[in-house]
Structure 1
Amino acid sequence: MLALTSPRQLLRRRMPQKPCFTGRAFNLVSANFISVPLIVEYHRPESLAEAVELLQQPDHVALAGGTVVNADRNRSQLVAVDLQSLGLDVVSREASRVQFGAMCRLSEVEKQCSGDLLAEAARRELPSTLRTVGTVGGTVAAGGGESLMLAALMASGASVRTVNGGEVSVERYVSAPSELIVGVDVNAEGAWTIEHTGRTPMDTPIVAVVGRRSEDGITLALTGVGTQPVVARSLDDIKQLIPIDDFRGSSEYRHHLSVTLGERVLGDLS
């Protein structure tokens, strides 16, 4: 009798079956991978003290939403310290003052700040499926130079709360990252606008200017000009910038966009 066997059944017979995780600190099996996996060990601490202790060890990285760590293919042999069991996803609001836990998802920012700059920036930051994964704290810690969400926080004068009780502006933290972020506080009020230029309407902007007007005046934050968003408070500040240069646009082109878009934002908010 001829026994019919599917290709999937043959594959299962030939490939050794090994558990993906072992023990409390899961070890990711590298067998059957052509290249070494990005993350080779995984921890999920139950307390902030345990998380801090783990993160002091070499090659241990905080895993918030994972949209940045998992996308970085230039690094490997990392040990992930998952923060999702630490209760850092709470959001509290009093009038216009919003306190986001570091693990608050960007999709929740959309809901909590509907109609505000922060909600619009969160919507534009990532596709809908990834907004349910990406976090506020992870966005700040990553410090991405093209991040509209990070620029919106900077333009809004947001501050970071760290694990040892410290508080520092998002702008300062991004320029000199230090302790583990446990929360981000911001005033979600005041007129705002976003101007940007990209290759397509849905593409990550080559340059974007985010603006917020508050009692202290107008604050701008620019993406696409450096390794982190840059804060400016006048057109003269923008004119003094020397933007980065890459395949999407020369430094001169980015400077031209920055000035043009900055003028529009200042005009809208004046």
Structure 2
Amino acid sequence: MLNLNEIHKPTTVQDALKFLQQPDTVALAGGTNLIAEQRRDVRAVVDLSGLGLAYIRESSGAIVLGAMTTLSALNDSPILRALANGVIAQAAHRSAASILRNQATLAGTIIAEPDGILAVALLALDAQVTLVGSETRQIAIENFWREGAAKSLVTEIAVPIKNPRAALHTVARTPSDQPIVGVIASAQIENQVARDVRIALGGVSETALRASAAEKILEGQTLNDAVIENAVGAMHASPLHPRGDYRGSAEYRREMAIVLTRRAVRELIT
């Protein structure tokens, strides 16, 4: 933001949207990614901290997370630590170093890092995103990445209180680094039989995605080594086309997605 001239600090979502219609103007949430980018095209920012969007609460069968809730708040939340083996809290912890978790926000993180482990957690738990623009609408998180949020603001994210069993596995260069690849498996387990199976992957595509072929094989089955290996084997033929970088080649990312899926699914029955 080398050419920044104006900072707007609205107190309502509608005022924020009006400011965002101006050219060369972007939203400022936690600012951790925006500041690091040092964009020359940004001349004004809209500070969203005054909109009252930092909260974690239960409502209508869901846990509702305000868009401006910090990663630290997600990590520390007793409500989230009790939901689905705490995978959202774990994901928030692994998304950034402690000094950044106090500033980085929920919405800012999933927008800047749509393939990151926090995005993976929300996808695995069937999260719904509320967007406010010319109208207010709620969409599934996978559709949010597909459709984008042009001329809209993310105000909150709702996670259904189904409370499945869930397991998170990642690989990173060091324990404090962001995951190179992350996998979260979730399912309702009764007598070793899996229902409502969801396996979400990160670090293998532009956005978090589901391992649909593996999910179909596991759905309704008694989970054992043979069934799990059959499901993992289906991933070899799945459309995983990761981009390699200095942290991990495309081949490495693909193979680790398969390895981590095996570990995560096995953990569901241990």
TM-score band w.r.t. shorter chain: 0.7 to 0.9
TM-score (norm 1): 0.79
Unmatched runs of 5 consecutive residues or more in structure 2: 190-194, 215-231
User: Does residue 69 in structure 1 map to residue 68 in structure 2?
Assistant: no
Output the CA distance in 2 between the equivalents of 1:149 and 1:83.
Answer: 21
- Contact 1:109 1:118 (8 Å CA) reproduced: yes
User: Does residue 120 in structure 1 map to residue 126 in structure 2?
Assistant: no
Deviations 1:95-118 (A, max 9, x none): 972111111122221232124111
Q: Which residue of 2 aligns with 1:32?
A: none
User: Does residue 180 in structure 1 map to residue 149 in structure 2?
Assistant: no
Shift of 1:210: 1.6
Q: Which residue of 2 aligns with 1:162?
A: 131
Cα 1:250–1:202, aligned 2, differ >3 Å: closer, same or farther? same
Shift of 1:148: 1.1
Output the CA distance in 1 between the equivalents of 2:127 and 2:188.
Answer: 12
Output the CA distance in 2 between the equivalents of 1:230 and 1:75.
Answer: 32
Q: Which residue of 2 aligns with 1:7?
A: none
Shift of 1:40: 3.4
Deviations 1:211-250 (A, max 9, x none): 2224852212212112222222314356411211222222
Output the CA distance in 2 between the equivalents of 1:259 and 1:99.
Answer: 31
Output the CA distance in 2 between the equivalents of 1:206 and 1:176.
Answer: 25
Q: Which residue of 2 aligns with 1:195?
A: 169
Alignment of 1:42-81 (within 5 A): 42-81=7-46
Q: Which residue of 2 aligns with 1:97?
A: 62
- Contact 2:53 2:155 (8 Å CA) reproduced: yes
User: Runs ≥4 in structure 1, deviation > 4 angstroms?
Assistant: none
User: Does residue 131 in structure 1 map to residue 131 in structure 2?
Assistant: no
Larger Rg: 1 or 2? 1
Deviations 1:105-157 (A, max 9, x none): 22221232124111111111122222221111222332432x21111111111
Q: Which amino acid aligns with 2:47?
A: D
Q: Which amino acid aligns with 2:185?
A: G
Secondary structure in structure 1 of the residue aligned to 2:186: strand
- Contact 1:65 1:138 (8 Å CA) reproduced: yes
Shift of 1:87: 1.4
Q: Which residue of 2 aligns with 1:219?
A: 198
User: Does residue 249 in structure 1 map to residue 216 in structure 2?
Assistant: no
Higher RCO (CA < 8 A, seq sep 6+): 2
Alignment partner for residue 118 of structure 2, among 137, 140, 149? 149
Q: Which amino acid aligns with 1:184?
A: I
- Contact 1:239 1:255 (8 Å CA) reproduced: no
Output the CA distance in 1 between the equivalents of 2:143 and 2:110.
Answer: 11
TM-score (norm 2): 0.79
Cα 1:214–1:52, aligned 2, differ >3 Å: closer, same or farther? farther
Q: How many residues align?
A: 234
Unmatched runs of 5 consecutive residues or more in structure 1: 1-35
Q: State the Cα RMSD in Å.
A: 2.2
Secondary structure in structure 2 of the residue aligned to 1:212: strand
Q: Which amino acid aligns with 1:186?
A: V
Deviations 1:162-203 (A, max 9, x none): 113200011110222122111110035221111222222322
Q: Which moved more, 1:147-156 or 1:134-143?
A: 134-143
